[in-house]
Amino acid sequence: MIVLGIESSCDDTSASVVVDGRAVRSCVVSSQDSFHARFGGVVPEVASRAHMEVIDTVCADALERAGCMPRDIDGVAVTNGPGLVGSILVGLGFAKGFAYARGIPFLGVNHLEGHIAAAFLEADEPEFPFVALVVSGGHTHLYEVTGFFRLRLLGQTADDAAGEAFDKAAKLLGLGYPGGVAIDRLAKAGRSAAYDLPRPMLHTGDLMMSFSGLKTAIRQLLERAGGIERVSLPDLCAAFQEAVVDVLVKKSLAAVEQTNGRHLVICGGVSANSRLRDKAATVCRERGVRLTLPQFAYCTDNAAMIAAAGYHRLAAGERSALGLNSYATLGQAPS
Ligand code: KG4
Ligand code: ZN
C-alpha cells in the first residue's frame, strides 16, 4: 500500500510517500524556522499562513521525488492533532481534497503515534511490547506500547516539555530559535560538571518529570553571574543538556523496569540530541535493554512518520470521515 503522508501541526510543512509503512520513497520538509526566529518562537497565525503558501508544492515535490503520479497513491494520512489548530487545518484540508478527488481512503493521525511510528521506518524494527519516550517541543510522555497503536501512559512532564526547555534555555542564552540544535552543538565543546544544575523530580519514585525549574535555574545563574558574557556558554549548555538527558534516561529506564520490559524506543525532536542518543545507548547496553532510535531525519517533525502510522491503521481497515476536525490537545484527538 502506497500512502501519502502530510504533516503541518507546528512550523514544518511536510509530505512523504511511504510504501507499506516502512520504505520511504520521498520525504520533503519545508521549515519555517527563519520566519519564527525573529519572534523567538512559533507565531500560530504566521505558521498557518506559511503552510498555506507551500502545501501544494511540498506535496507535488514529494510525489515527483517518489516517482509517483496521484493515481499511484492508495491512501492519505494526515496529522489532525495534537498541535496548532490553524496549522493542522491547512494540511488536513489539502489531504481531504486529495483523497476526495482521487476517491481513496483518508485517515487522521495522532501526531504522537506518528513520532512512535518513526521507529519503524527503514530501521531495525522495534518489537512489541516496548516503552516509548516521546520527547519533543510539545510533549515528554512515557508510554507502554503493546501494539499498533495500543498505548498506556506511564508518566509525563508536569510542566514544560523537554524540547520547550531547550528552546527557552537557548533564548535566555541568546542562541535564537529553535534552541535544541544550538545547545547540542555548543555543548560539545563544554564541560557539564562546570555548573551544578538541578534534576527536578528525579527521585520521586514515579515516572513524572519536570523541566520548568531548569529554565529558572539558568535565569538565576545568569543574574548572579551578571550576564551572558560572564559565563562560559559551552559549559552552561553542556550542564543544562546533561541535566535534561539525565532525567530523561533515568525515568525511561525506570519505566522499562516497572513494566518488566526489555526494549526502549526514544522518538520526537529531542531524540536527535547527540548526548541523549549516546547516554541512552550506554545505559541500555549496561542494563541489557534494546534501544531503538529513529534516523535523524525522522526525529523532528516529518510526514514519513505520519504515513507510517497511517499505513498501519489504514491496513487494518480504519477510515476517517471527510468531516474530521483539527485538535489542539491529545485528549481531544481521536485515536
Ligand atoms: O518533534 P518536533 O520537531 O516538534 C514537536 O512535535 O514539538 O520537536 C521539536 C523540538 C524543539 O523543541 C527542538 O528544540 C528540539 O525538538 N530539538 C532538539 C534537537 N533537535 C531538535 N533538542 C535537543 N537537541 C537537538 N539536537
Ligand atoms: Zn512532533
Asked if pLDDT for residue 334 goes beyond 50, the answer is no
Q: Are strands 263-267 and 130-135 parallel, antiparallel or unpaired?
A: parallel
**Separation CA 304–CA 5 (nearest Å):** 6
Q: Are 190 and 283 in contact (CB under 8 A)?
A: no
Q: Is the pLDDT higher at 297 or at 331?
A: 297
DSSP characters over 113-179? HHHHHGGGSSSS---SSEEEEEESSS-EEEEEEEETTEEEEEEEBSSS-HHHHHHHHHHHTT--SS-
Average pLDDT over all residues of the chain? 95
| The three cell numbers locating residue 235 | 559549559
| pLDDT over 70, % of the chain | 98
* pLDDT digit string, tens, across residues 35-71: 777 777 788 999 999 999 999 999 999 999 999 999 9
Q: Residue 331: its pLDDT value, please?
A: 65
State the pLDDT confidence band at 332, using cuts at 50, 70 and 90.
Answer: very low
Ligand 1 site residues, Cβ closer than 6 angstroms: 10, 136-138, 163, 166-167, 178-181, 184, 268-270, 272-273, 300-301
The secondary structure element, H or E, covering residue 61 is: helix 44-65
Whether the per-residue pLDDT at 129 is higher than 60: the answer is yes
**Cross-sheet strand order for the sheet of 150-156:** 150-156, 140-147, 130-135, 263-267, 290-292
Q: How far apart are CA 259 and CA 243, in angstroms?
A: 25
Confidence of residue 286 (pLDDT cuts 50, 70, 90): very high
Q: Which atom of ligand 1 is nearest to the CA of 274?
A: 26
**CA 115 / ligand 2 centre spacing (Å):** 6
The structural domains of the chain, ordered by start, are 2-117+300-332 (3.30.420.40), 127-293 (3.30.420.40)
Task: Report which bound ligand comes closest to the CA of 114.
Answer: 2
Tens digit of each residue's pLDDT (9 = 90 or more) over 234-260: 999 999 999 999 999 999 999 999 999
Q: Are 140 and 43 in contact (CB under 8 A)?
A: no
pLDDT digits (tens, 9 = 90+) for 184-193: 999 999 999 9
Q: What is the DSSP letter of 193?
A: G
